[in-house]
Amino acid sequence: MKVYKNYIDGKFISSRTKKTFASVNPTNGKILGYFQKSDKRDLDNSITAAKKGFKLWSNVPAPKRGEILLNIASLLRKNKEQIGKLVTTEMGKVIAEGRSDVQEAIDIFEYMAGEGRRLFGITTPSELREKFCMTTRRPLGVCALISPWNFPIAIPAWKISAALICGNSVVFKPSSDTPLCAVRLIEIFEEAGVPVGVVNMITGSGEEIGDEIIKNNNFMGISFTGSKDVGRYILRNASASRIGLELGGKNPIIVMEDADMDLAVDGVIWGGFGTAGQRCTAASRVIIHKKINKEFEEKLLKRTKKLRIGDPLKESTDIGPLVAERAVKKTEYYVHSGKKEKARILCGGKRGEREGFFYEPTLFSNVKPRMKIAKEEIFGPIVSLIKVNNLKEAIKVCNSVEYGLSSSIYTRDIQNAFKAIEGIDAGLTYVNSSTIGSEVHLPFGGIKATGNGTREGGQEAIHEFSEIKTVYIDYSGRLQKAQFDTIKIKR
């Protein structure tokens, strides 16, 4: 079985620990390869390399950096099918989603390549004559990027593309569930011409190496996607002043009495059971107007029962395995909790019948907002149905959780739509579309326990990975003093 290595200073090298861990195919439990269990010594080496890389890369004009990002995008496109299959094999999402994971990476590298010719600052007038005011952008320095397993290509791509176009160098620590996807990305970067030391990768579990990364004072920025608890820990303990967090969600879909019901059913199926519910943006609560509650539940149940669970590499499969046994255990825990709290199970509620980490798509009705299954992030194929009397109550239920990532409303009434956009506390609101499916040129992220105010994607990602410098140029040739000098206007 192949042993894969860290990537430091342009070379694949073994960890100083001489220890490895396995990555497993969740469909059949087969080992895909062994990866380095890194420790502080490997981290230190990667930082030394990244510092060198930073000197070089920050001095490359941004449009030139963009050309390399464009190379990455075209290599990803060329290898889309192969990498998509790899995503499916290592992480378990169905093949169409494996491909779309790669597509999202292509999109963001193309978008960020174009940013190389923008990276806009502003110019603005001075309150004094013969004085020029503007802002410019500077990279942060060496950044640590810690990415999750549920989008093993797309999310590293969001972070790396934005960090690189701004001129930063990075130490990338992928999830220990999907290190093979990360190695493949590194190979693409190498082929695309990313210079030595600019992107470095070390593998290992968060428990073992996470703390060393977080507390290391060589990092000027940290970008993390993962659990709320780890995110909060990073906020309290990180040495870097620039921290980007993308944490959990408990995303609602409101279905109003005037909704196109079939469309809403499509949206719930897609948002609730896509990626087997393992998205931060998964629709895990459906808040239904009482007038249509019964009919909607029946339609949704019928559709849910038709979902095909099985080999994610087969085009006809709708739901693949969860990422690992621990994810199945967590899902089982919540199903048990839902039953205990007297929610009614409509379908599912048990493991899949085949080997691998499968769990059946599960619907709970009669869910009350105070129940655990309505409040906590499950990250599995469980959808909770909550009946409400009106839109006001629906919005209140939406906002009754600690998270605020994505949200959606199905309605044909423009007043309902705008009231939801205004009233829901979330980073994203979709109208007549599910809670998933963000596009890379728009900001992505959430409020409350979902994050710390930063966003990925679009212009916001540029803010996350650059510092603004404010520049004043006085060409008057005399001492001018803002707040002291008065400008006289002739009458």
Q: Which is nearer to ligand UN1, 107 or 257 (CB)?
A: 107
Question: Minimum CB separation from ligand UN1 for residue 439, in Å?
Answer: 7
Q: Which is nearer to ligand UN1, 104 or 376 (CB)?
A: 104
Whether 280 is a known active-site residue: answer yes
What span, in angstroms and rounded, lies between the C-alpha atoms of 36 and 19?
A: 6
What span, in angstroms and rounded, lies between the C-alpha atoms of 309 and 469?
A: 53
H/E stretch holding 47: helix 40-57
* Residue carrying the six token digits 């199905």: 410
Q: Is there a contact between 131 and 475 (Cβ–Cβ < 8 Å)?
A: yes
DSSP letter assigned to residue 324? S
Q: Which is nearer to ligand UN1, 48 or 227 (CB)?
A: 227
* Residue carrying the six token digits 């693409």: 188
Question: Minimum CB separation from ligand UN1 for residue 444, in Å?
Answer: 7
What span, in angstroms and rounded, lies between the C-alpha atoms of 342 and 193?
A: 58
Q: Which is nearer to ligand UN1, 386 or 436 (CB)?
A: 436
Q: Which is nearer to ligand UN1, 90 or 104 (CB)?
A: 104
* Residue carrying the six token digits 């540029």: 462
* Residue carrying the six token digits 């993390």: 224
Whether 110 is a known active-site residue: answer no
Q: Which is nearer to ligand UN1, 416 or 450 (CB)?
A: 450
Question: Minimum CB separation from ligand UN1 for residue 345, in Å?
Answer: 25
Q: Which is nearer to ligand UN1, 280 or 371 (CB)?
A: 280
Question: Minimum CB separation from ligand UN1 for residue 327, in Å?
Answer: 14
Alpha helices in 307-428 (DSSP H): 325-340, 372-375, 391-398, 414-423
What span, in angstroms and rounded, lies between the C-alpha atoms of 81 and 87?
A: 10
CA-to-CA dists, residue 255 to 18, 96, 122, 389, 443, angstroms: 54, 27, 43, 11, 25
Which residues of the chain form contacts with ligand UN1 (CB under 6 A)? 104, 150-151, 279-281, 436-438
Catalytic choice (90, 246, 377, 464): 246
What span, in angstroms and rounded, lies between the C-alpha atoms of 147 and 222?
A: 11
Quick one: which of 393, 328, 387, 315 has its CA closest to 359?
328
Side-chain-side CA neighbours of residue 64 (13 Å): 10
Catalytic choice (97, 280, 398, 456): 280
Instruction: Report the residue count for the chain.
Output: 491
Question: Minimum CB separation from ligand UN1 for residue 405, in Å?
Answer: 8
Alpha-carbon torsion, ordered 380, 303, 283, 424, to 10 deg: -160
Q: Is there a contact between 423 and 395 (Cβ–Cβ < 8 Å)?
A: yes
Question: Minimum CB separation from ligand UN1 for residue 5, in Å?
Answer: 27
Question: Minimum CB separation from ligand UN1 for residue 4, in Å?
Answer: 24
* Residue carrying the six token digits 């980490």: 357
Please give the positions annotated as active site.
246, 280
